[in-house]
Amino acid sequence: MHITSLPGKYGTGTMGKEAKAFAESLREMGFSLWQTLPLNPVDMSGSPYCSDSAFAGNISLIDPLALFECGLITEAELKENEYNGSKYASNHSFAFEKRLLTLRLAFKRLDEDTKKLIEIFASQNEWVFPYAYFMALKEHFSRKAWWEWESDYIRYEDAIIHKDEFKEETEFYIFTQYIFFTQFRTLKEYANSLGIELMGDMPIYVSRDSADLWANRHQFRINEKSLAPSFVAGVPPDYFSEDGQLWGNPLYNWEKMEKDGFSWWKKRLAHSLKLFDKVRIDHFRAFASYWAVPAESETAKNGEWRKGPGMKLFNAFKKDFPELPIIAEDLGTFGEDVVKLLEDTAFPGMRVIQFGFDPDGDSTHLPHNYPLNSVAYVGTHDNNTILGWLWDASERERAYALRYCCFGGNNWGEGGHYSPSCRAVIEAVWRSSAKIAIVAIQDMCGYGKDARMNIPGTCEENWSFRIGQEGLDGIDKKYYAEINRIYRR
């Protein structure tokens, strides 16, 4: 469950009391791990997988109540953050604009002690100045893409000359990140104190219009004259899309990255490991080989496979990080190069039971085939809910799935917290030998496909799922505590 999906008053879930209460309920049910989606700022559609920073935090997740409690905003200003629309869907634009305005008010009221703490934060996070300066310039240029700015600012090495002209606005954006990571650290420490580890999610790519590319463009495959990519990221036709998925992200210049010892990736990994106990790396297969699509293409069909950095990158990681608590998202189309990379890194891969229900096959996604060194999912943020899948499946697929999961009776279509078919699928995953088993909050509650988080390859109505407090309160905690006990989870 992503933090945005938590209940609350402020347009989207936050890192406040509801997040702490959720961690408490996880402990009560015998869980030991909470996986979120990426914490990065989101794009216009609410996706955290095409962000303007690989390092920054999404200010919409900042808890306004905590700002009020430490005296940085008034009660009336706190009230302004309350959202009167649907409590079952995040309003990312409302939350962002309200949080931005509230943080501007708070910034004007900082005392000297807090300013010193912010200076320490900035000195310990070298990424934060380029990001904050990027955002300051974004505001100055009416939020246009960086390649549309005035010529003196398009290249970071030129723009840095003008930094003093934007000093206050840059300091404001540093402050927003200080608040974000202070609140997140408080949440993580609280969850850890309850025996709950936090598992983060690292998107493999960043947006073209990002502080990362603007300040480090030589690390990416960008034409120096046009400042545009010739090829962009995506995946070929797959389970989710007949045309493939055209993501449009710029690709990495792995040869140049290798020459400086993959320094940018090392900084990124160090940042993630400081935040989380475990990190899932999205689209892991691209480290073996990645799909490059001509930038002018309208679909991802016409791409080509190109060789990634492979073990060179992970050997570089091992020099700096004695332990790598990484989960490899190895889903989708892949070949022997991906299999070998997984073997060489020894990272656990992912298994998703929904992908396994082929009546004529013996899929690696069926629980009896899960290796110990794997992470088993009932479904991910990209999947339908399990109840939604059962309704949409063919009669033959559904019959096989229900029989495989030892479901009896004819009430498979019942939803809600006590949905018998959802429980049967969850228990099938829990019985597997995978060392970690994960269930989405929607499947715990037996929700249908209208609660789905994302449909890959589409841009509308994604990333907004939000659970009401009554939904969380209705979860059968004794049931989950019991299956965690029975299956030694």
Q: How far apart are CA 367 and CA 376, in angstroms?
A: 8
Q: Yes or no: say if 118 and 178 are a contact pair by the CB < 8 Å rule.
A: yes
Q: How far apart are CA 431 and CA 441, in angstroms?
A: 19
CB < 8 Å & 24+ apart, contacts of 225-232: 227/147, 227/154, 228/147, 228/295, 229/295, 230/294, 230/295, 231/292, 231/293, 231/294, 231/295, 231/303, 232/292, 232/293, 232/295
| DSSP letter assigned to residue 218 | G
**Alpha-carbon separation of residue 289 from 187, 247, 266, 353, 435 (angstroms):** 37, 16, 20, 25, 27
DSSP string of 364-380?
TTSGGG--SSEEEES--
Q: How far apart are CA 40 and CA 59, in angstroms?
A: 9
**SS3 (DSSP) at 436:** strand
Q: Yes or no: say if 27 and 190 are a contact pair by the CB < 8 Å rule.
A: no
Residues 63, 212, 382, 443: which is the catalytic one?
Answer: 382
190 φ/ψ angles, rounded to the nearest 5 degrees = -70, -45
| DSSP letter assigned to residue 413 | T
Q: Which residues are 200's β-sheet partners? A: 279
- Residue 329 bears catalytic tag: yes
**SS3 (DSSP) at 328:** strand
Position 25, amino acid:
S
Residues 63, 329, 330, 443: which is the catalytic one?
Answer: 329
| DSSP letter assigned to residue 384 | P
Closest CA to 274 of 320, 342, 310: 320
Residues 24, 277, 282, 476: which is the catalytic one?
Answer: 282
Q: How far apart are CA 380 and CA 202, in angstroms?
A: 15
- Residue 382 bears catalytic tag: yes
Position 94, amino acid:
F
Q: How far apart are CA 344 and CA 459, in angstroms?
A: 36
Closest CA to 285 of 204, 219, 382: 204
Q: Yes or no: say if 452 and 388 are a contact pair by the CB < 8 Å rule.
A: yes
Q: How many CB atoms lie within 10 A of CB 210?
A: 26
For the annotated catalytic residues, the residue numbers are 282, 329, 382
